[in-house]
Amino acid sequence: MYKELLDEIFKCYPMYHKIGSAAYKEGLENIEALLAIVGNPEWRLKAVHIAGTNGKGSVAHLMASYCQERHLRTGLFTSPHLVDFRERIRIDGEMIPEEAVLDFFRQYKSRFDFLEPSFFEMTTALAFHYFAQQQVDVAIVEVGLGGRLDCTNVLHPMLSIITNITLEHTQMLGDTIAKIAFEKAGIIKQDTPVVVGEFHPESYPVFTDIADQRHAPLFLAEANYTVEGDLSDSTVRHYDGSVLYEHLHLPLDGEYQRKNLATFLQAVELFQQLWPADKDVVPAAVEHVMSNTGLQGRWQVLCRTPLTICDVGHNVGGLSITMPQLAALPCRQLRIVFGMVSDKDLDHVIPLLPVKALYYVCRSDNDRAIPADELAGILAQHGLDCRVFGTVAQAYTAARGDAAPDDVVFIGGSCFVVGDLLAAIERKEC
């Protein structure tokens, strides 16, 4: 019954990750109408609201882990999912039960349909309803797309976070950093503190202007926190040089996590002012982020011999950090299982890709994915050595089969490539 319902939901409601901008609905009128039908659960949520181009998922999971370590009943709403739809909606790390999804749609679907909601609007209504029903202490909510007109922006959070800004989704959010920053800054609320993760000369003035207009205290994380050493054993300093933490263990090795960790620590400082804690649980929250929250796909090591890593980074901002880190790994041969979706900036992505690598080009099971032969042709024009495969599982199996123990295998380019791989591994297809 659950699988049949899910198939119907995927079929009936437009999904951004399947069809792109055609599924994007501007404005909050639809989500406000949906939430009114289910009793306005958003009014009953104490929330942390997180936007940004990159890193918002990692910061959301870190914040959830922190709240869980404080024994707060913690809701976590993120997107997209990698394997199971229910990954999007969790309480204390546990996915929403299938029966709760069934009950919600049995009760409300017929009342929703006249509004012709998008998939994300439906999912947001489900998440907020479930969190309120289950009486979470705090809800950690990741923006779906943008901020100002994203349907999660009906929230009035206790804290807002904007991780960073790079050019992405320009057809919907604007073609400059400043325009995109204006959309992200829509989550800044009156008299509500906001954390900005990173400084950018084009985005930061937008944030400060809007924060001033709304009397929202603004804190720049990268100016206040520095993460030194290996992420598995790091030292964190405050802006005055004092050591806040030593031997902090983050089980996420991607270099971009330094910025996410600083953003998280700034957010925790403010959260503790709003909701004081008896003891400092930050080290435990950082160390247990994966086991507490189910986080996957962030520089995730699937195997040590040969070293096999997957990462959901998929835009210029993310790949500009992961690709140099990947290229610097010592190995005999770097093998990259690679696919992308059609709305990404290939002209700026391709120069980031390591030249001394073999590419196993594939197409994820997604309507927006670039056909493998088309993508391989583009990569080959730039001097990259490519082989073409029909599915992610086939490409991964070939890369692993070709690899020597001292090779490195990387899977990425799209969160949907990583999702297809993790699903295939779960089904024991590769």
Q: What is the pLDDT of residues 139-197, one digit of tens each?
A: 999 999 889 999 999 999 999 999 998 877 556 677 799 999 999 999 999 999 999 99
Residue whose structure tokens are 């900005």: 196
Phi, then psi, of 195 in degrees rounded to 5: -100, 130
Residue 114 has pLDDT above 70, yes or no: yes
Question: Looking at the DSSP assignment, which residues form a beta bridge with residue 206?
Answer: none
Q: Yes or no: is domain 2-293 CATH 3.10.20.740?
A: no
What is the H or E stretch that residue 183 is in? helix 177-184
Paired tokens of 425:
């591994």
Task: State the burial class of residue 28 (Cβ atoms within 10 Å of its Cβ: 0-12, 13-18, 19+).
Answer: middle
HSE (side-chain half, CA atoms, 13 Å) at 361: 20
Residue given tokens 């199971």 in the structure block: 84
Where along the chain do the CATH 3.90.190.20 domains lie?
Answer: 300-426
pLDDT in tens, 295-305: 999 999 999 99
The DSSP letter of residue 41 is G
**What integer pLDDT is reported at residue 21 of this predicted model?**
45
Please report the sign of the dihedral spanned by the C-alpha atoms of residue 35, residue 36, residue 37, residue 38.
positive
pLDDT (mean) for 75-100: 96
Residue 19 pLDDT grade (very low, low, confident, very high; cuts 50, 70, 90): very low
Contact by Cβ (8 Å): 419, 82: yes
The answer to whether residues 91 and 75 touch, using CB atoms and an 8 Å cutoff, is yes
Q: Which pair of tokens denotes residue 411?
A: 């899977």
Q: Do residues 56 and 50 touch, judged by C-beta distance below 8 A?
A: yes
Nearest to 308 by CA among 220, 389, 407, 216: 407
Report whether 121 contacts 25 (CB < 8 A). Answer: yes
Dmax (CA) of the chain: 59
pLDDT over 90 at 259, yes or no:
yes
Peptide bond preceding 80 in cis form (omega within 30 of 0): yes
Beta bridge partners of 139: 47, 75
Q: Which CATH architecture has domain 300-426?
A: Alpha-Beta Complex (3.90)
- 377: pLDDT strictly greater than 90: yes
Query: Span 361-378, mean pLDDT?
Result: 94
**Token representation of residue 170:** 């320009």
CB-facing half-sphere around the CA of 235: CA atoms within 13 A:
6
Reported in sequence order, the residue ranges of 24-120 that DSSP labels E, i.e. its strands, are 47-51, 74-77, 89-91, 94-95
pTM of the model: 0.93
pLDDT of residue 212: 98
Residue 20: its pLDDT value, please? 44
Q: Where in the chain is the domain with CATH 3.40.1190.10?
A: 2-293
Phi, psi of 315 (to 5 degrees): -125, 175
Cβ atoms within 10 Å, residue 247: 10
Distance of CA 321 to the CA centre of its chain: 16
Lowest-confidence region among 1-15, 37-51, 105-119, 274-288: 1-15
